[in-house]
Amino acid sequence: MNIDNIDKKILETLQEDGRIRNSDLAKIISISPPPTSERVKKLENNGYIKKYVALVDPTKVGITCFTYVEVTLIRHGKDAVERFMNSIVKIEEVLECYHITGDADFLLKVATKDIPTYEQFIIHTLTALPDVQHLKTLVVLSTLKQETKIPIGEIPNDKS
């Protein structure tokens, strides 16, 4: 799929407001509603738009503790890494998980109610996973910037 400037504008706009009406989106990108809808469907079907979500205020639902956790595994073989990855994707407190380079093997973003709840999470969940050797926790004190919008620059042509 070749992405043009209209598709880029659609992606930018939907990242700001995923609930925008098709007619309003059409006005922004300066084409009529039917082709706008077709373009959005094409972007969805080709995986450029993965899903639509609501961004919830964590404090309104009782989440006040965010941490980043560096995880180092005992073993680094394929089985140990896959075992860890298969386990971590099932844990709802883990918002993000990255397989990284450097001293640690994985970086997790974790959300819990508070520090005591995080402590229980570490004791009963993370350290209970097989192959976990070391954890290093970084506690978020305040958030200066939190963005979900990805900058849309030059997009390589899809070769599929």
CATH code at position 126: 3.30.70.920
For residues 132 and 99, membership in a common domain is answered with yes
For residues 68 and 113, membership in a common domain is answered with yes
For residues 35 and 82, membership in a common domain is answered with no
For residues 72 and 123, membership in a common domain is answered with yes
Q: How many domains does the chain have?
A: 2
Residue 155 lies in a domain: no
Q: Are 36 and 9 in contact (CB under 8 A)?
A: no
For residues 85 and 119, membership in a common domain is answered with yes
Residue 22: give the domain boundaries: 5-45
69 three-state secondary structure: strand
Identify the CATH number of the domain in which residue 17 sits: 1.10.10.10
Cα separation, 139 vs 117, whole angstroms: 13
38's CB contacts (< 8 A; 6+ apart) are: none
For residues 71 and 122, membership in a common domain is answered with yes
| pTM for the full predicted model | 0.87
Residue 145 lies in a domain: no
Nearest to 11 by CA among 34, 39, 33, 35: 39
Distances (CA, A) of 135 to 25, 38, 68, 71, 140: 46, 47, 10, 5, 16
Cα separation, 31 vs 20, whole angstroms: 15
Q: Judging by beta carbons within 10 Å of its beta carbon (0-12, 13-18, 19+), is residue 101 exposed, middle or buried?
A: exposed
Residue 121 lies in a domain: yes
Cα separation, 106 vs 160, whole angstroms: 30
One pLDDT digit (tens) per residue for the chain, 160 residues: 889 999 999 999 999 999 999 999 999 999 999 999 999 999 999 999 999 999 999 999 999 999 999 999 998 889 999 999 999 999 999 999 999 999 999 999 999 999 999 999 999 999 999 899 999 999 999 999 999 999 998 777 666 5
For residues 39 and 66, membership in a common domain is answered with no
Residue 39 lies in a domain: yes
Residue 90 lies in a domain: yes
For the stretch 112-132, what's the b/e string if a residue is b when 16 or more beta carbons lie within 10 angstroms of its beta carbon?
bbeeebbeebbeeebeeeebb
